[in-house]
Amino acid sequence: MKKLIALAALMGFASLSFGQGIVSFANNNSTKVSTNGAAMTTAPVGTWYYALFRTGSANAAGPASSVDPTTAGWTLVASGTNTSAAGRLSGNQTTEGVVVTPTGPSTDDYAIAGWSANIGVTWAAVQAFFGNSAQMTQATHDAGSQAAVGGWFGIAPSFADNIIAQPTGSGINGLFGTTAGLLNGFNLSFISPVATPEPTSMALLGLGSAALLIFRRRK
């Protein structure tokens, strides 16, 4: 009986050791965030927002830059904002940038998306910006309820591959770098707002239509 209790305790300890890990999408010297290929300038904290997604390594396909990752086998696990340094994003234990996620001895893949704060501060706001469509394109934005709002958006074209979440209390696995399997940075592109007619233009159009009808009736 004592042996069974001891074995159960050891199994429980092993489970806890692999039960959770720490993965950071913090900035480092290799983190490059740009807008339309140009390096971002220094911006106040809260100007940009980022979301981190994970999937099992069995899902080898990366998220396409125009597809909502949450509809393509990826799970949203954390969000954060930019730091005060140009082209950097948050990721330390005083922000939302550190993820404590269940994992085992297996590995996971991680992807990241970024957007300008005027779109919103949550991933749900980003989804609404694209009309809650699985396709995140200019066309789906234009067809949605926020067509009149423009903003910057992008998903990293690559993903952090086969990252082992370190056990709590050990070193933190960063996701960015130039080493194979890490994220090497990503680009945000501008989604243009759809121009809406000004009230004066609409009024002139209405007057013109009324005048045309009166003219036709008189003839």
- The predicted-structure confidence for 126-139, as pLDDT tens digits, reads as follows 999 999 999 999 99
pLDDT at 55: 87
Domain that holds residue 50: 20-218
- From the CB of residue 46, how many other CB atoms can be counted at a distance below 10 Å? 10
- Would you say residue 6 lies in a domain? no
- Name the domain count of the chain: 1
HSE-up of residue 168 (Cα within 13 Å, Cβ side)? 14
- Would you say residue 11 lies in a domain? no
Structure tokens at 180: 């194979």
Residue pointed to by tokens 């100007």: 47
- Would you say residue 176 lies in a domain? yes
pLDDT tens, residue by residue, 53-78: 988 876 667 888 899 999 988 989 88
- Would you say residue 47 lies in a domain? yes
Q: How far is CA 111 from the centre of its chain?
A: 8
pTM listed for this prediction: 0.77
- Would you say residue 3 lies in a domain? no
Euclidean distance between CA atoms 53 and 114, whole angstroms: 12
Check: CB of residue 165 under 8 Å from CB of residue 20. Answer: yes
pLDDT at 3: 35
pLDDT at 86: 86
pLDDT tens, residue by residue, 28-37: 667 889 998 8
Q: Average pLDDT, whole number, for the chain?
A: 76
- Would you say residue 12 lies in a domain? no
Check: CB of residue 48 under 8 Å from CB of residue 119. Answer: no
Residue 204 has pLDDT above 90, yes or no: no
Reported as a pLDDT band with limits 50, 70 and 90, residue 95 is very low
Using a 10 angstrom Cβ sphere, with 0-12 exposed, 13-18 middle and 19 or more buried, the burial of residue 135 is: middle
- Would you say residue 51 lies in a domain? yes
- Would you say residue 14 lies in a domain? no
Contacts of 4 (CB under 8 A, 6+ apart): none
Amino acid at 141: H
pLDDT tens, residue by residue, 150-195: 999 999 988 888 888 777 666 777 888 888 888 888 999 999 999 7
